[in-house]
Amino acid sequence: MSVSSARVRAGTVFDPSGDARQRKGRRRVPVRPSPAPRPWLGRLAVAATFTGLAAVVILGIATETRTELRLPGGVATFIGSMTGLTGMYLALVMVLIVARIPPLERILGQDGMLRWHRRLSAWPLSLIAAHAVFVTIGYAQAARTGVLHQLNAFLAHYADMLAATVGFLLMVAIGIVSIRALRQRLRRETWWVLHLYMYLALALSFAHVIALGPAFVGHPLTQVLWSVVWALTAGTVLVYRVGLPVMRSLRHRLRVVEVHREGPGVVSVVMSGRQLERLAVSGGQFMAWRFLARGLWWQAHPYSLSAMPQPPYLRITVKQVGDHSAAVARLKRGTRVAIEGPYGNVTGHARTNDKVVLVAGGIGVTALRSLLEDLPKGTDPVVIVRASSESQLVLRDEVAELVRHRKGTLIELVGSRREIALHSQGLLQLVPDLLARDLYTCGPPGLVEDVVEAARSAGMPHHAVHYEVFSW
C-alpha cells in the first residue's frame, strides 16, 4: 500500500486530515452530529403498532352480533370485514414505515426501512384481496344471488364502491410491479411514480369503509377515530416527506460551487449553502439530492456525503452509472439544490466496540470516507477498500491521509470479484482481531452481501455489523 500525502485542490475546502486546525488561516465551523438513535422509541413504535392492531380486531369483533353472524352470508361478511379492517390498518403502517419519521429512520436506516416495508407488503395486499372476495360472497349469499351479479350491484348501486374498486386494482398493480424480478426491470423513477399511486389508492378506499363498514355504520365514535388515524398518517407523510425537506432546502439554499473529476467516470460536487452548522449530520449519512436544472429537477437521487460538511460547504462524490449520475458531472456552477435528509444509520452512533473495520466496495468509499473522518481517534480503524482496478480507487489519497492521521491500517484490494473474494477466512486473515471490532460496509449489493455474510460466518454478532447498500 502506498500512502502519499493528500492533495488539497485549489478551490475545495475538504481537508483529508479531518483536523482543519492544522491548516493555516481557516477555522473549521463544527457541524452538529445527527441525534443518536433511541432504541426504546423503536420498541414503543412496535408496541403501539400491535396495540393498534389489537384495537382494530376488537373493534371488528365488538360491532358484530351473533344474530348477524347467523344470517345468510353472515360469516363470510364478518371475515370480509375483519380482513378489510386489518388490511387497511397494515397498509397505513406500511406508509408510516417509509414516511422517514426521524426517530424511526435513525433506528431502521434506509436498508431496515425498505426491508420492513417489503416484508410487510404481502400482508395488507392479501388481506384486502381476501376482504374483496369474502364481502362479495357474503353479500351475494345474503341477497341469494350470484357473485358476479353482486359485484355488478356493488359497482352500480353502493356508495363509494367504484372508487374503492379502482383503489384496490391500483394496489394490486403496484403489488405486482414490486415483485423483485419485475421491479429490477423498471427504471427507479418509473417504479417511484407508480408507488406514488399507492397514496391515491388508499385515499380512494377511505370513504367506502366509513359508508359501508359494519364497524362504522351507525357508530359515529369509530368513524371519528378512524378518520383521525387516517388524517394523522397523511399529515405525518406530508410533514416528513414534503414539509421538512422543503424547509431544509429553503433554509440552506444550496448551490453548486464546483464539479471536479476524481477518476474515470467519477466526479465530486461541492455545494455551498447557509446555516449548514444547523444541519445535524453524521459521517456515513446520505441525502436525496434534487438538482434544480433542466431535466433533473423532478428526480431526487441518494448520494452519501463524501466528507464531513465544512460550512458553508458540502461535498458528494458520484460515479456515473446511468442518466442522473452522468448529468451530475455536467452540472453548472450556481445550480440550485434541494435536499431530503440527512438519512441513514451507518454512523458512529451504531458502534458497539472501541475499534472498527470499514470495508468499502467501489464508490461505497464515499460514505466510509466521511464516517472515518467523523470517528474519534482511538478507533484504530482498519480500512479495506475494494476496487476492480487501481483507477477505481477514488478518494484514495484522502482515505490514506485520514487512516494515517488515526494511526490505522489501510488495505487496498484491487482485482475482479472472482480474484479477490471476501469470505470469512480472508476477512480474519486481514483483520485477526475482527471479533473485537465493529464492521461497517457500503457499496454495491453483491459486495455488501458478501461482506455481511463473511462477517457473520466469522462469528461477528448482528449488532456489530452495519451496512448500507447503494441500490434500491
Nearer to ligand FAD, 128 or 363 (CB): 363
139 vs 119: CA distance, rounded Å: 32
Which of 188, 255, 336, 404 is in the footprint of ligand FAD by CB under 6 A? 188
Nearer to ligand FAD, 322 or 446 (CB): 322
Site string (135-174) toward ligand FAD, x via CB under 6 A: ----------------------------------------
**How many distinct helices (H) and strands (E) make up the chain?**
15, 11
C-alpha to C-alpha distances, 247 to 242, 251, 252, 375, nearest whole angstrom: 9, 6, 9, 29
Quick one: which of 132, 48, 56 has its CA closest to 96? 48
Site string (298-337) toward ligand FAD, x via CB under 6 A: ---xxxx-----------xxxx-xxxxx------------
Q: Minimum Å distance from CB 381 to ligand FAD?
A: 19
- DSSP three-state, residue 216: coil
Ranges within 91-130 binding ligand FAD (CB under 6 A): 110
Ranges within 254-293 binding ligand FAD (CB under 6 A): 286
Cβ atoms of residues 34 and 343 within 8 Å: no
472 vs 302: CA distance, rounded Å: 10
Nearer to ligand FAD, 128 or 340 (CB): 340
Q: Which residue is closest to ligand FAD by CB?
A: 322
Nearer to ligand FAD, 43 or 195 (CB): 195
394 vs 279: CA distance, rounded Å: 26
Cβ atoms of residues 191 and 177 within 8 Å: yes
Q: Does 472 bind ligand FAD (CB under 6 A)?
A: yes
Q: Does 297 bind ligand FAD (CB under 6 A)?
A: no
Could you tell me how many residues of this chain bind ligand FAD (CB under 6 A)? 23
186 vs 441: CA distance, rounded Å: 27
Nearer to ligand FAD, 37 or 87 (CB): 37
219 vs 367: CA distance, rounded Å: 53
Instruction: List contacts with ligand FAD (CB under 6 A).
Output: 110, 187-188, 286, 301-304, 316-319, 321-325, 363, 366, 468, 470-472
